[in-house]
Structure 1
Amino acid sequence: MNRVGFIDYFLDEWHANHYPLWIEQASGGTMKVTCAYGEINAPNGRDNAAWCRDMGIELLPTIEAVIESSEYLIVLSPDHPEFHEELALLPLQSGKPTYVDKTFARDRETASKMFEWAAKHNTPLYSSSALRFAPEYKEVRGKAIDTLCSQGPGKYANYGVHQIEPIVSLMGPRAKRVMSIGTILTPALLIDFPDGRQATLHHIQNSPFLITLQFEGGHSARITAEADFFAAFIDNLEQFFRTGISTVDPEETIAVITLIEYGLKAMQTPYEWIELPGSISI
């Protein structure tokens, strides 16, 4: 059995509560979350010791101890990406396959720094929103898309990634500029790609994750992510741990973080284009 270690800001959160069983099931029992570290106790939940007792996972006192006790590493803190650089610093020096949960980093500069640090230490690194792996998106992946209109639930701060990740994975990482076209209640962005291609995203509460696409050939499609995209994501994660090879290009991950960061800037000056910096190759 290969051991997986959790490193989190606090352990009693939705992803940490569900990933252990899913990883064990997806791997046929060959991978298991066996240890965990939490920097603080959950503000509104079980403390780390209680969480570990309930989950049958060993609580370790330091990140170093988790690295030492594991073959594979997961840096969680899905709703507090501002701590990812700190929590991932030692894992990215370990040489062990490391997954950093969404949202990967607080900004483009930090995202680039983390990939560079991992490359320097030969640490396989990977991050993605689970929505990238929605089974319904497979049928349109690789097709020439002229326009993509996306909508989904949640707040932009922690759910924007779930719309931007599919946009980048389907339309590419080379967006040129972004404009805020939404309201305070319903944040929305217009993203401009080369050759006049465009994407929009809207946060509409209680909406499903839905995309409508106009293809360059003239036909269109409307797709709702209804299948179990978390199962597809966990399968991909298990593959990454086994091979040490990510199916997600770092350039795309950095593009996702860039759009999230510059989308926030655009919201300060609605209906004005904000130019995006050029792509980065790692």
Structure 2
Amino acid sequence: MSIPAFGLGTFRLKGQQVIDSVKMGVELGYRHIDTAQVYENESEVGQAIAESGVARDELFVTTKIWTSNLAGDKLIPSLKDSLARLRLEQVDLTLIHWPSPNDELPVADYLGSLLEAREQGLTRQIGISNFTVSHMRQAIEAVGVENIATNQVEIHPFLQNRKVVDFAREQGLHLTAYMPLAVGKVMQDEVLKSIGEAHRASAAQVTLAWLLQQGFAIIPSSTKRANLQANLEAQELRLSDEEMARIATLDRGERLANPGFAPHWD
């Protein structure tokens, strides 16, 4: 099962807020839901899915293993805990959320454990997140590119992450763009707004269309029904080559997700 190109992110959403967002999203047609252990909202996401009335096999659910659970004896039990919180027997995709801080644990070790989790039927696919070119090389060497469903990384007009993108494409490795709207910053950009005016679309819709046209999966989030609907409508927007090129000039290396334990970025 391929990863649906359009997903619903749940980062920073907690309690009733995430329940409402997921239920509204599913009602509007979202079928790809993205969560993580560290978001501390898996239980609420699971509740929203259970109450949505949509058949399990129509939904694609992603979660991510946190860094404290990467050690071999912790990873699979932590995924089983995630499944219990999500009220699911299996997730569709499990990602390593971040490489082991300071590379204390070898990539091959925790990806091997994740592959074992797949073999046990806990997850249909496995993948990676926030992996640099070096980490992607190690991952491919460890389990083969055919066993890595995606690398989920920050990509938006102001951080186009070209070295990671180019390497992934060379290897045939799919990419998922998180923070695709740069936490709302795209809405203030004059280039994106002017392109949007030509299409009777918002700067956010232009940005999402730009990412989709490059072949990325995207996981924007929102707590407002109108925004969830508008984001979905970006799938109908087609940008010209010239418009795509204009957006390509906006890259300024503005990284928004950069915790102290992050790897050395490319």
State the TM-score bracket (shorter-chain normalisation). Answer: 0.3 to 0.5
Q: TM-score, normalised by structure 2?
A: 0.35
Give the greater-gyration-radius structure (CA).
Answer: 1
Larger strand proportion of the pair: 1
